[in-house]
Amino acid sequence: MYAATKSRRVFPHLCNLRHRLSYVAGIETSCDDTGIAIVDSNGRVRGNVLESQQEFHTRYGGIIPPRAQDLHRLRIKDAFERCLQEAGLAAEELTAIAVTTRPGLPLSLLIGLRFARHLARKYNKPLLPVHHMEAHAIQARMEHIADIEYPFLCLLISGGHCQLAIVRGPGRLTLLGETLDDAPGEAFDKIARRLRLYVLPQYRLWNGGRAIEHAAKSAKDPLAYDFPLPLAQQRNCNFSFAGIKNNSFRAIRARELAERTPPDGVISNYADFCAGLLQAVSRHLMHRTQRALEYCLDPKNHSFGDAHPTLVVSGGVANNDAIFANIEHVAKAYNCRCYRPSKKYCSDNGVMIAWHGIEQLLYDSVKNLRYDLDSIDIQGQAGFLNSSVDDVTGAAIKCKWVQPIGLLPSVAHACHS
Ligand code: KG4
Ligand code: ZN
């Protein structure tokens, strides 16, 4: 069946993939979630198993990489078997195995790759390496295939990344800007921990971003806290969250001292604080995204080509309704469509990896699918194929800011930059 050389295998039956239903298993272990899913080439999710380690790591105040590795190792085989069962498929019926190989925690990535390699050998299937952030970027196409054509603009906001990129297909992303320090999810997690939101029973097992979003809804005085607008003088599409984070730590400390908050307590107006924080993060994301839209729509750059201008927001922070509503509002001001994946697919999961695998099969030429299993390796850090960051910086686009909705009006000094 297979034309095989000593160490390189070719899979000629993949040539007619566009004409028959295929099934790809996706394996995600880049951080602290063991995700395994099977997606078919029509974008239907056949099986989806997600084992979160959140409860374990919450006890220790953050992810401990060797423990995360142990838990992936312990759970991965059972998760795969349950996924096959849910899909009603045998491993032999899979068309390919897709696995996150980059970027992520190396110890965690290794478990996924070793398991995927084992499956690929045992069942003689091609192994498709997947870039985790690319998978976030193209995930929304699975549910909106008719509406989201390539190329589109993507805002990737997660616990480890904050990037704006033009997405032309799997493996074909061009970076427009990225964070110079923290990612927004990371900032939310650290600030929520410093606030000690976890002592409140309802937030005990929630991630920081989700807890802050929920707490902000009960704010009585959302103006109580003011945060600096990061990189206001830099007319590019980069981000920075370290200033907001450090400002938060200082403000919480000052309030604790003033209120004599006990060491296991939470400041009384934590909801007001969360509302101010959410507003500051939203505004920064809005500004950089607006500039990226102006760059893409500039006839000189013509970044959307003949496609309808489309913006996709993805990654764990895309779960946030206030942030998404504001980004969507910016997009609408430019007659640009805006999408995000369903909430269950915004955060890390196996479905996005399987879908990236399906797109690789559909859009990559068969020659790219000749994989030497041993040559595929993990990479803790990995960027995108191209970068236009210098070009965006050189363009120094001045924007008339779209005003936020659902939050507070922008402060006067932030109206133009
Ligand atoms: O994409 P993801 O699941 O993992 C990474 O690739 O990093 O993102 C996880 C991040 C966490 O930092 C978490 O605080 C954030 O997503 N997050 C949220 C919300 N839900 C999850 N941030 C803001 N609002 C939310 N509702
Ligand atoms: Zn992620």
Tell whether the model's pLDDT for residue 142 goes beyond 50: yes
- For residue 110, CA distances in Å to 65, 118, 229, 356, 372 come to 12, 12, 39, 19, 17
What is the distance in A from the centroid of ligand 1 to the CA of 77? Answer: 26
Contact 128, 96 (CB under 8 A): yes
pTM equals 0.93
**Residue of 108, 188, 214, 349 to mutate, ligand 1, most atoms within 8 A of C-beta:** 188
Closest Cα to atom 2 of ligand 1: 316
Tell whether the model's pLDDT for residue 89 goes beyond 70: yes
What is the distance in A from the centroid of ligand 1 to the CA of 403? Answer: 25
Question: Which atom, in ligand 1's list, is nearest to the CA of 133?
Answer: 6
pLDDT cut 70: percent of the chain above it: 91
Tell whether the model's pLDDT for residue 9 goes beyond 80: no
* CA dihedral sign of residues 32, 36, 40, 41: positive
Question: Which atom, in ligand 1's list, is nearest to the CA of 184?
Answer: 12
Alpha helices in 368-416 (DSSP H): 389-395
Tell whether the model's pLDDT for residue 3 goes beyond 50: no
Tell whether the model's pLDDT for residue 416 goes beyond 50: no
Considering every ligand atom, which ligand is closest to the CA of 189? Answer: 1
Residue 249 CA to residue 240 CA, distance in Å, equals 16
Confidence of residue 4 (pLDDT cuts 50, 70, 90): very low
What is the distance in A from the centroid of ligand 2 to the CA of 258? Answer: 38
List pLDDT tens digits, range 242-300: 999 999 999 999 999 999 999 999 999 999 999 999 999 999 999 999 999 999 999 99
The secondary element (H helix, E strand) that includes residue 128 is strand 127-131
Q: What is the DSSP string of 70-94?
A: HHHHHHHHHHHHHHHHHHT--GGG-
Q: What pLDDT score was predicted for residue 370?
A: 56
Residue 338 CA to residue 313 CA, distance in Å, equals 8
> Which residues have CB under 6 Å of ligand 1?
31, 158-160, 185-186, 188-189, 207-210, 213, 315-317, 319-320, 347-348
Confidence of residue 143 (pLDDT cuts 50, 70, 90): very high
> Domains of the chain, with CATH numbers?
12-139+344-375 (3.30.420.40), 152-340+385-411 (3.30.420.40)
Confidence of residue 365 (pLDDT cuts 50, 70, 90): low
Bigger pLDDT: 415 vs 175? 175
What is the distance in A from the centroid of ligand 2 to the CA of 309? Answer: 25
- For residue 98, CA distances in Å to 117, 141, 171, 333, 362 come to 10, 17, 14, 38, 13
What is the distance in A from the centroid of ligand 1 to the CA of 59? Answer: 18
Q: What pLDDT score was predicted for residue 48?
A: 98
Tell whether the model's pLDDT for residue 372 goes beyond 90: no
pLDDT cut 90: percent of the chain above it: 84
Residue 385 CA to residue 341 CA, distance in Å, equals 23
Tell whether the model's pLDDT for residue 326 goes beyond 80: yes
Tell whether the model's pLDDT for residue 307 goes beyond 50: yes
Strand 310-314 vs strand 386-387: parallel, antiparallel, or unpaired?
A: unpaired
Closest Cα to atom 21 of ligand 1: 316
Contact 351, 39 (CB under 8 A): yes
What is the distance in A from the centroid of ligand 2 to the CA of 372? Answer: 26
